[in-house]
Amino acid sequence: MFLYVASFILLLGPLVFVHEFGHFIFAKLFNVRVDTFSMGFGPKFLKKKWGETEYCLSIVPLGGYVKLYGQDPTEAIEPQYRNRALNNLDAWKRFLVFVAGPLFNFLFAIFIFAMMLVIGEPHMLPIVERVVPGSQAYLTGFRSGDVIIAVDRQVVTKFEEVARVISESPNKELVFRIKRTIPATTAAVAPKVQVTEIKAEPQPVPGLSVYGENVEVGSIEGLFNVGRYTTVGVSNPTSVAGKAGLKTGDEILLFNGITVKNWETIQSEAKLALGKRVPKFDFGYVPHEASYWTPDSHPQPATKPSNEVSLPVRPLDQLGLYSTELFVSALKDSSPAQAAGIEIGDR
């Protein structure tokens, strides 16, 4: 609740300031005396007089006000300030003073939208980070690392566009044009880039329309634009990985000198290394105490490995290495799972 209230106040504050500043600046422009510029209503808890104007913060942060000399028609006007009273201004000037607040809010909105257009917004590139083996996506030909460049002849630049077309096309065959990098099998051979087409029919699943209605939407099973974390699971401490010192939750950052961003990268690089007959697997990692596996530590994202280990060249599962996707990372005290004997690190 506190976060909602704080967010509301932080959002409202700039709008109130811009609105009141509009009144303030036009009053100053027409030489009207400004007695008070307040952010908030009610009792003042912070105030500072600068020149003839008192600037203050008031206890109720739900608005603000600018007090102008002569705005109250029942207020007596001192002769020496008659030419600086609001009610002595020409009608068109009074109109501009009153309309300046909403006008500044309107201009502020234009400025914000212009900045959004200039800065842009973050979005996910149309890259398939993960394809579940045996799923619809896998069987139709998608592979991890594929870059989708068009769907039904419509060029796409972000994954949100791909997801929208899939969602709007249940039971309709779509043609995906993809770019795939074929890794080099030897150091002397450069990687190849292949452009191909894949046909897939999104299956209908329950979902919501843009208006929140319950409708059927399209989905391609096993197709994800986010890969799994590079934290490793070691279920058997007597495995090759376990004996080498790796533990569940250790976060892999480097594999054979290559920076890895997800578990799918580790899998593909390991498979490629098996074909090249490299002498060993070199892992650069940070221990589980400093990785995302330990949620209570709230670590800063690690950028450099603090530990290294070398393992023989074998398939990852034969080394005892798995993704932590199906490993227990946390247990609630007195929960049925804890009562059943499940422990953190179980797979």
Tell me the C-alpha distance between 250 and 242, whole Å. 11
pLDDT at 298 over 50: no
Please state the domain count of the chain: 3
Residue 347 lies in a domain: no
pLDDT at 63 over 70: yes
Q: Which of 224, 255, 284 is the last residue of a domain?
A: 224
Q: What is the pLDDT of residues 2-61, one digit of tens each?
A: 677 677 778 888 899 999 999 999 999 999 999 999 998 888 888 889 988 999 988 888
Residue 151 lies in a domain: yes
Q: What is the pLDDT of residues 199-255, one digit of tens each?
A: 999 999 998 877 778 889 999 999 998 888 888 888 888 999 889 888 888 888 888
Same domain, 14 and 114: yes
Residue 346 lies in a domain: no
Q: What pLDDT is stored for residue 324 in this prediction?
A: 86
Q: What is the pLDDT of residues 276-289, one digit of tens each?
A: 777 888 888 888 77
Same domain, 113 and 154: no
Tell me the C-alpha distance between 263 and 267, whole Å. 6
Residue 157 lies in a domain: yes
| Residue 218's CATH number | 2.30.42.10
- Provide the residue range defining the domain that includes 135: 130-224
Q: Which of 224, 249, 283 is the last residue of a domain?
A: 224
DSSP strand pairing (223-224 vs 203-208): unpaired
Residue 99 lies in a domain: yes
Please name the residue ranges forming H helices in the chain: 2-29, 91-119, 136-140, 159-167, 240-243, 263-276, 316-319, 336-339
Calculate the average pLDDT of the chain. 85
Same domain, 265 and 186: no
Tell me the C-alpha distance between 341 and 24, whole Å. 68
Same domain, 85 and 147: no
Q: Is 192 helix (H, G, I), strand (E, B) or coil?
A: strand
